[in-house]
């Protein structure tokens, strides 16, 4: 059973949701399932720290983006908005090239809050970072 409020395509999500920081860092929504959403980001000069490894802040920006967009796709956007309240991340492995993919799955989809698990993996499917994102659900307006 799908968690999404209404049907959507990845093309629609990429066109409407990739602005600001997400666009600057080269993020793209890349896959979707009945209860998960994935986005990919390059590991390059935009997302690396001085030692040429993926910056932890870039990982959390990716996690926050995919989780927030997923959360908003679960609610009636004429009535509600989901806003980030808290995010954390554990960085498990470095990445120095290629791309990473973040996959968001909900732990909890409530009327007033959502909690999302986001796993970030490299192209070899090795876990790079695990993150948890809490969203508050507020009235639109």
pLDDT of residue 64: 98
Architecture of domain 10-139: Roll (3.10)
Q: What is the mean pLDDT of residues 59-75?
A: 98
pLDDT of residue 137: 98
User: What proportion of the chain, given as a percentage, has pLDDT over 90?
Assistant: 96
Q: What is the mean pLDDT of residues 52-63?
A: 98
Question: In this structure, how many other beta carbons lie within 10 angstroms of the beta carbon of residue 99?
Answer: 18
Q: Parse the chain into domains and list their residue ranges.
A: 10-139
94: its two tokens: 């470095």
Q: Does residue 121 surpass a pLDDT of 90?
A: yes
pTM for this one?
A: 0.96
Q: Does residue 60 surpass a pLDDT of 80?
A: yes
- Work out the angle between the directed axes of helices 56-73 and 10-17 (0-180°, nearest 10): 120
- Please answer whether residues 100 and 55 qualify as being in contact, where contact means their C-beta atoms are separated by less than 8 angstroms: no
User: What proportion of the chain, given as a percentage, has pLDDT over 70?
Assistant: 100
Weakest mean pLDDT among 16-25, 99-108, 125-134: 16-25
Q: Does residue 111 surpass a pLDDT of 90?
A: yes
Angle at 60 between CA 56 and CA 66, to 5 degrees: 145
Question: In whole angstroms, what is the distance from residue 114 CA to residue 48 CA?
Answer: 30
Which of these, 83, 86, 75, lies nearest to 133 by C-alpha position? Answer: 86
């Amino acid at each position: 059973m799908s968690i999404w409020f209404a049907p959507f395509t990845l093309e629609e999500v990429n066109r409407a949701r990739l602005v600001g920081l997400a666009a600057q860092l080269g993020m793209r929504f890349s896959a979707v399932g009945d209860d998960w959403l994935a986005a990919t980001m390059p590991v390059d000069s935009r997302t690396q720290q001085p030692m040429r490894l993926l910056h932890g802040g870039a990982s959390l920006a990716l996690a926050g983006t995919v989780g927030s967009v997923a959360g908003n796709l679960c609610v009636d956007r004429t009535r509600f908005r989901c806003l980030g309240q808290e995010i954390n991340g554990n960085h498990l492995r470095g990445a120095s090239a290629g791309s990473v993919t973040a996959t968001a799955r909900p732990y909890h989809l409530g009327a007033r809050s959502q909690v999302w698990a986001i796993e970030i993996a490299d192209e070899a499917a090795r876990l790079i970072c695990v993150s948890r994102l809490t969203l508050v659900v507020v009235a639109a307006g």
